Amino acid sequence: MTWIGTSWKMNKTLAEARAFVDGLVAARSALDGVRAFVIPPHTAIAAVRERLPSDVPLLIGAQNAHWAPAGAYTGEVSMEMIADAGATLVEIGHSERRECFGETDDTVALKVEAAVAAGLTPLLCVGEPAEVRAAGGEIDWVAGQVSRGLSRIAAHDRHRVVLAYEPVWAIGDLGREALPDEIAPVMAMLSARFGEARNGVAAVLYGGSVNRLNAAALLGVPGTDGLFVGRAAWDVAEFVELVRIGARAGAAGRLDAR
Ligand code: PGA
């Protein structure tokens, strides 16, 4: 099943979050056959959970959580707290967290371990900065980030993890769209070394300047199980359109596999 998800980053009030859910519920049939997820800011997780009818197949995530179960960590929330609010998924190691908030591969590994222990699905984000890509070092960089990120969990727990390859140079307003050919070697490496065939992670997603125009081509890159979208999915109609593109790609993939 194709994964299509969005993180709202630091956007949406409670009213805006509820309006997004209502828009999605109005288009609920689009969600059939796709593993869709939405990652609100912490303040809106519970509101999204409460607004969403329990039979609508949408996963809810959190954008971050601390590895410790509780304690004197002002401003942080624990894995248990986000699960209690309604999250089943937790984003870990997004490049904005690494760049702006000092996340390292060590803290990422601690969070992946804590997420698995709490029964959450870690969505482990990896990706090389522009200078590493310019020097041709992206494969080693990304493989190293994944190895270190998974280093604290047992091999038999890897299937509980979802990876997102998000090259830093392709993310956000200052990013540029990646071409399918540019990401293909990295996606191939991730699925070969860490994917299901190796008893590895549950899925490998691509993210960074994804939108309705490039989504189908990016989903066509071998080894890509879905898309992780920022800006282009914050409007619910656009999110629904991306979900539909994901459903079509999944259906085409099933036909190809026959
Ligand atoms: P973007 O963000 O789609 O707005 O580039 C992607 C991400 O940060 O996951």
Specify the CATH number of the domain 2-256.
Answer: 3.20.20.70
Portion of the chain with pLDDT greater than 70, in percent: 98
| pTM of the complete model | 0.96
pLDDT for the residue 252: 81
Burial of 26 (0-12, 13-18, 19+ CB in 10 A): exposed
Q: Where are the alpha helices (DSSP H) in the chain?
A: 14-26, 42-51, 79-85, 95-101, 105-117, 130-134, 138-149, 180-194, 215-219, 236-257
pLDDT digits (tens, 9 = 90+) for 131-186: 999 999 999 999 999 999 999 999 999 999 999 999 999 999 999 999 999 999 99
Q: Which residues contact 229 (CB under 8 A, 6 or more apart)?
A: 4, 5, 6, 207, 210, 211, 215, 239, 242
Does the structure show a pLDDT above 60 at 258?
no
Ligand 1 center–CA 212 separation, angstroms: 13
Residue 154, φ and ψ in degrees, nearest 5: -70, 155
β-strand partners of 162: 123, 203
Ligand 1: residues within 6 Å at CB? 7, 166, 171-172, 175, 207-210, 228-232
Structure tokens at 210: 């994804």
pLDDT, tens digit (0-9, with 9 covering 90-100), for 12-66? 999 999 999 999 999 999 999 899 999 999 999 999 999 999 999 999 999 999 9
CA distance 192 to 244: 27
Q: Is the pLDDT of residue 257 over 70?
A: no
Residues 6+ apart with CB under 8 A from 121: 59, 88, 89, 90, 115, 160, 161, 162, 202
Q: Which atom of ligand 1 is the closest one to the Cα of 231?
A: 4
Does the pLDDT at position 255 exceed 70? no
The verdict on whether 94 is a catalytic residue reads yes
Tens digit of pLDDT for each residue in 195-231? 877 778 999 999 999 999 999 999 999 999 999 999 9
Q: Which residue is it, tokens 């596999």?
A: 257
Condensed to tens digits (0 to 9), the pLDDT of residues 62-105 reads 999 999 999 999 999 999 999 999 999 999 999 999 999 999 99
Domain boundaries, the chain: 2-256
What's residue 251's pLDDT?
Answer: 82
- Report the distance separating Cα 5 and Cα 226, nearest Å: 8
Which among 166, 143, 138, 157 is positioned nearest to 228, based on CA atoms?
166
pLDDT the model gives residue 44: 98
CA of 209 to the centre of ligand 1 (A): 5
- Per-residue pLDDT, averaged over 93-119, amounts to 98
Residue nearest (by alpha carbon) to ligand 1 atom 2: 230
Q: CA geometry: angle at 165 spanning 220 and 142, to 5°?
A: 125
